[in-house]
Amino acid sequence: MKKIVFAFLVVLQITGCAGNDQSNESSSKGAKTKDSKKGKANTTNTTTTTAAKAPNAPLDFIKSIPGSVDGCGEFFTYDSLKLKDEKYIFLSDMGDMAMIRIKGKDIVLKKSTRESKQINAISAVEVYYAVGYKVVLRKKEEKEVDRFYEYSGTIQITGKKIKTTIKVRGEGGC
């Protein structure tokens, strides 16, 4: 198990270093789009996807999906973006691991089973921790087709100089 975790962290470190140049380019494009559209997000091209996350939203798009989430998983993006664009800001393996990306660094989160709870048949609160971060995902099932779900909800992040809540939409299943 330790070898798998170590390999996962090495892959995350490698992909995190390679993606820094691209994130700088997309943020400058996003600022241009936001000014020309007066803050409205147009989800048809990639330059507005970064504009949709706004300067006060600390989450970057996750560059690659880890193998542990390949079979079953949940994937969330900003509520102003389309899920088919696959620009995810939060993902989980539907177990006790999740991941976000802040300032170009992938943050691996561990689910707190004590604090997480199913509110009713379609709503849940999931609480995750990493060193210096607490992430609360509140999600509601909007649609189910063949054990594949679409969600709406919020992600609340508290931690190192960050305290924000972001509206999200997501999908999940096996």
The mean pLDDT values, 10 residues at a time, for the chain of 174 residues are 44 43 38 37 36 56 74 90 90 92 91 96 96 95 91 93 92 89
**CB atoms closer than 10 angstroms to residue 84:** 8
Number of domains the chain contains: 1
Q: Of 84, 74, 87, whose CA–CA distance to 139 is shortest?
A: 74
- Cα–Cα distance for residue pair 75/151, rounded to 1 Å: 9
At 14-52, the pLDDT tens digits run 444 444 433 333 333 333 333 333 333 333 333 333 334
Range of the domain at 30: 2-173
